[in-house]
Amino acid sequence: MRFSFGQSQTQKQTQTMAPRMIQSMEILQMAQAALEEKIETELIENPALERVVENQPAEEESKNKLDGETEQKDVEQKELIVEEGSGGEDDFERLLNLDNDIPDHFDGSRPSSNRVQESMDRRHDFIANIVDDSGSLQTHLLDQLHDLDLDPKLMKMCERIISSLSAQDGGYLKISLSDLLPLDATPEDSDRVEEALAHVQGFDPKGIGARDLVECLLLQLSPSLKHVQNVRKLIVDHLDDLHHNRLPAIEKATGMSMDQIDEAWGELKTLDPRPARRFFGDFVPKVNPDMWLERDGDKYVVKMEEGPARNLHISNYYRKRLANGQATADEKEFIKRKIASAQWLIESIEQRRSTVLRVAQEVVTYQQDFFDIGPEAIKPLKMEQIAEKVGVAVTTISRAVGDKYVETHRGILPLRMFFVHGTTTDDGEEIAWGKIGIELKKLVDAENKGKPLSDEELMKQLGAKGFPVARRTIAKYREKLGIPSSRGRKVWSKKK
């Protein structure tokens, strides 16, 4: 292999993106909360960017407005890219003349009192649905512990056990008892930690401090249960059989009848496999809808708040400082850079609002049957279809619908959920997979639980309804909908 030094000339073509285009795409993709966070960051870092206070007195606000009437830019058609090779001189010239063509802020028309009340009502409903914190698991257990008169060493060991429990883990003891002991632990220390665990496991909620599921359920058993002995058998030896609905195997192994197994299983279901769940709660993400629907005759119109850019404006101080010629060369460079950054941010936010609104309206118009009839009427929709109608790239559609939510009479829904795949019926009609899933669930709900339908039978019945799907697709949708196999759905008890 030969190595040599020399010069050569090659020709290649590359495509680069202007910083403003990158920023525009990033802002388009942001959720509402992330956008608010970015605005707050920019307000801190950029002195040329200011926010108008909502309750600012009219006479004070009028001082900040420009003389004369100004026309708001058509941000939908505004190009956010310039030639990189121009050095940005055209932009700086435009910024020097901001007083002539850009208002202090994107004011627009003031919202009516009804619009303000509607906005307040939506925010109130959003706040009312936030899950309340149920308190600390550790505090609840320590309160019970401190009511006991225990030896100080035993008390300390109980506190150590409690500190290792987590509501997120259901209240299980995830570490071994030996890990709670010092390296030079004595047999007396080992006995003490066992005694401490017994005390903790006696606290409310029942089942707390268990080391596995079996121990958790056994700790909750009470003599008041009518079939407590049979329930104990099921817990100790047959949890896996219950999970897979293998009741005949339990009947053969225990000698219990199907009715006895069913009664014991019913009592077992009253026990809680995650006893500390109430101290953690089900995680509910905070969703602040970007848009809402209004009915206009036989159509739906997507409405959107004027957005955070309405209250953003370029600082008059820095604009005048740049225009009056008193700033030094370094100051001018600094002010130009900061004003450009602020203006690009405002334009990007307005562009985001315009794009998201247009995309959402096209989606809602296409999926109107969903809102009129219900989920079973949703139609297959590809992003390419909306991209063609709006006149943008598919990647823009993907960014525009990501983490965006619309408030409807059917709930707060993610915009992305309306893009679904489907199949074609024998008649040539396109049907969304979601509709097939709904029909599948209807068949399962209506079946004879003593003799549930197999995947093959479900496939045939769906085909008879005009939904041609393969058997493996049935199995896939069963799992997706949480529907067990035919064996798992079978009811063995004669009482049912």
List, as one string, the DSSP characters of 138-198: HHHHHHHHTTS---HHHHHHHHHHHHT--GGGTT---S-GGGGS-TT--HHHHHHHHHHHH
Q: What is the mean pLDDT of residues 180-184?
A: 87
Write down the pLDDT at residue 62. Answer: 41
Distance between CA atoms of 273 and 270, rounded to whole angstroms?
A: 10
3-state SS record for 191-257: HHHHHHHHHHHCCCCCCCCCCCHHHHHHHCCCCCCCCHHHHHHHHHHCHHHHHCCCHHHHHHHHCCC
Residue in the structure block whose two tokens are 């989920």: 375
Among 2-16, 41-55, 275-289, name the one with the lowest average pLDDT. 2-16
Peptide bond preceding 205: is omega within 30 degrees of 0, i.e. cis?
A: yes
pLDDT surpasses 60 at 302: yes
Write down the pLDDT at residue 51. Answer: 87
CA distances from 287 to 33, 271, 352 (A): 9, 33, 19
Write down the pLDDT at residue 311. Answer: 84
Confidence of residue 162 (pLDDT cuts 50, 70, 90): very high
Residues 6+ away with beta carbon under 8 Å from 111: 119, 306
Write down the pLDDT at residue 64. Answer: 46
**Averaged pLDDT score across all residues of the chain:** 80
Among 174-188, 190-204, 209-223, 433-447, name the one with the lowest average pLDDT. 433-447
Write down the pLDDT at residue 77. Answer: 39
Write down the pLDDT at residue 197. Answer: 95
Contact 148, 199 (CB under 8 A): yes
Write down the pLDDT at residue 44. Answer: 93
Give the percent of the chain with pLDDT over 90: 42
Confidence of residue 465 (pLDDT cuts 50, 70, 90): confident
Confidence of residue 20 (pLDDT cuts 50, 70, 90): low
pLDDT surpasses 80 at 283: no
Q: Full-prediction pTM beyond 0.95?
A: no
Distance between CA atoms of 16 and 4, rounded to whole angstroms?
A: 32
Of 192, 156, 155, which Cα lies nearest the Cα of 177? 192
pLDDT surpasses 90 at 58: no
Give me 181's structure tokens.
Answer: 């002991």
**Terminal-to-terminal C-alpha distance of the chain:** 82
Give me 492's structure tokens.
Answer: 């063995």
H or E segment at 458?
A: helix 455-464
Q: Residues, the chain, total? A: 496
Residue in the structure block whose two tokens are 């309206």: 361
Q: What is the mean pLDDT of residues 252-271?
A: 93
- Dihedral of alpha carbons 26, 27, 29, 32, sign: positive
Give me 338's structure tokens.
Answer: 């900061």
Write down the pLDDT at residue 425. Answer: 62
Mention the CATH class of domain 421-489: mainly alpha
Contact 138, 148 (CB under 8 A): no
Render pLDDT for 405-460 as a digit per residue (tens, 0 to 9): 999 999 999 999 999 887 766 666 667 777 788 888 888 888 888 889 888 888 88
CATH topology of domain 138-211: Arc Repressor Mutant, subunit A (1.10.10)
pLDDT surpasses 70 at 84: no
Write down the pLDDT at residue 82. Answer: 40
Q: What is the DSSP letter of 47?
A: T
Q: Tell me, what amino acid is at 407? A: E
pLDDT surpasses 50 at 99: no
